[in-house]
Amino acid sequence: MMYIILLLVGIPILEIVAVTLSGQWFGFWPTIGMIVATGVVGAFLAKRQGMKAWNE
């Protein structure tokens, strides 16, 4: 049970650190662009896989 709590707390902290470091390294707007781009690609893939599963 403790490992699940550590994962639920640790992964978001690592993500915040990664976004912060990315913002410092690449800049604000490129970081926002990467976040939006991964969201768009993720939504596209989720829709495609969902439609594929629905049709089977």
pLDDT at residue number 52 = 83
- DSSP for the chain reads -HHHHHHHHHHHHHHHHHHHHHHHHH-HHHHHHHHHHHHHHHHHHHHHHHHHHHH-
Domain count across the chain: 1
Q: Please give the residue range of the domain that contains residue 51.
A: 2-55
pLDDT at residue number 56 = 80
pTM above 0.85, yes or no: no
pLDDT at residue number 54 = 87
pLDDT at residue number 28 = 95
Q: What is the pLDDT along the chain (56 residues), one digit of tens a residue?
A: 888 998 999 999 999 999 999 999 999 999 999 999 999 999 999 999 988 888 88
